[in-house]
Amino acid sequence: MARHFAALAIAVGLALALVPAEARAGEPVEGLKLYQVSSGRLELDKGFLTAMVDVGKRIKVPVAMYIIEHPRGVVLYDTGNADEVSDGGCAGYWGKAICDGLVPTQTRDEVIDRQLTRFGYSVADVKYVIYSHFHLDHAGNIELFPQATHVVQKDELRAAWWPEKWQRGAYVLKDYDETRDFKFMELSGDFDLFGDGSITVLDTKGHTQGHQSVRVRLPKTGTLLLAGDAVYTPENEAGTTPGITWSTIHSMESIQRLKRIRDAEAGELWYSHGIEQYESHQHDAPYE
């Protein structure tokens, strides 16, 4: 009889492991908080975000980052533009060609370490840093967190360290060239960070080979889907192909996946570079 129960337990465990992330749910974690902050602004051609729509139109967009307080530690989602591009230092770090195309306006106070300080945290408090991907405006400050565990898709690490020629402009090797000895959690798909359903990494490849989004289930606010560059703007959510993408078909599939999860959980989908949405959110107090 004991053997039958043991076999049943193993079967149930295997079945749960095979359930996709969008189908699993857990009780809200009390004390979970989320802050949305920005690593300044980028001025760029809208066509970078919306392929074949408004190409040539210059717009300003936020660079969204997230600070999440979990009972078991502080988690970041993305680290924004490198501190070296702050206060007019872009050309000396990214190079003139990139800076002419993106035109960052970031003050030193908008860099992630000082954003943490605004809310009473320090760099040393950060337990995990989750990266949507390793492009220059999302992983620019990885080297500020040598003690954290860095959560990234294995395919993204491979792309960042040895990008294809046509992808090289978006990866800045000196952002992470001193991180070989850092602690990386290399994923191949979805992952429930704390095993409680509160913070789940979602495989949303398309923008890059290893792009990932994050689902956060807050006790009061409910489900937030932090899209990263899987969904730049509301136009992408509505069906406009993202302008910069490694794989169009994977990008569109990832957008549909995020929308399915949002609808199933009556949640919200938050874009990486949607300025109207960003400005409608609160940034001086947490979502709970």
For the chain, which domains are there?
Answer: 29-280 (3.60.15.10)
pLDDT at 255 over 50: yes
Give residues with Cβ within 8 angstroms of 278, minimum separation 6: 36, 38, 62, 64, 271
Q: Left if phi > 0, otherwise alpha if psi is -120 to 50, otherwise beta: which for 40?
A: left
Whole-structure pTM value: 0.90
Tokens of 61: 């967009």
Residues 53, 69: Cα–Cα separation, whole Å? 38
H helices of 162-268, where? 234-237, 248-264
Examine the pLDDT at 3 and tell me if it is beyond 90. no
Q: How far apart are CA 149 and CA 211, in angstroms?
A: 18
Block residue for tokens 């000895």: 181
| Cβ burial, residue 164 (10 Å; 0-12/13-18/19+) | exposed
In the structure, what pLDDT confidence band is assigned to residue 1 with cuts at 50, 70 and 90?
Answer: low
Burial of 73 (0-12, 13-18, 19+ CB in 10 A): middle
Cα–Cα dist 281/273, whole Å: 13
State the pLDDT at residue 34. Answer: 98
pLDDT at residue number 202:
98
Please give the pLDDT value at position 15: 47
Span 182-200, average pLDDT: 98
Q: What is the pLDDT of residues 108-165, one digit of tens each?
A: 999 999 999 999 999 999 999 999 999 999 999 999 999 999 999 999 999 999 998 8
Strand partners, 200: 192, 215
pLDDT (tens digit per residue) in 14-33: 544 454 555 455 688 999 99
- Count CB atoms within 10 A of the CB of residue 169: 17
What pLDDT score was predicted for residue 186?
98
Q: What is the pLDDT of residues 219-233, one digit of tens each?
A: 999 999 999 999 999
Percentage of residues in the chain with pLDDT exceeding 90?
Answer: 88
- Averaged confidence pLDDT in the chain: 93
Q: What is the pLDDT of residues 49-101, one digit of tens each?
A: 999 999 999 999 999 999 999 999 999 999 999 999 999 999 999 999 999 99
Q: Please tell me the predicted confidence (pLDDT) of residue 4.
A: 53
Q: What is the mean pLDDT of residues 36-44?
A: 97
Cβ atoms of 135 and 208 closer than 8 Å: yes
pLDDT score for 23: 45
The predicted model gives 241-270 an average pLDDT of 97
pLDDT, residue 28, reads 86
pLDDT at 26: 65
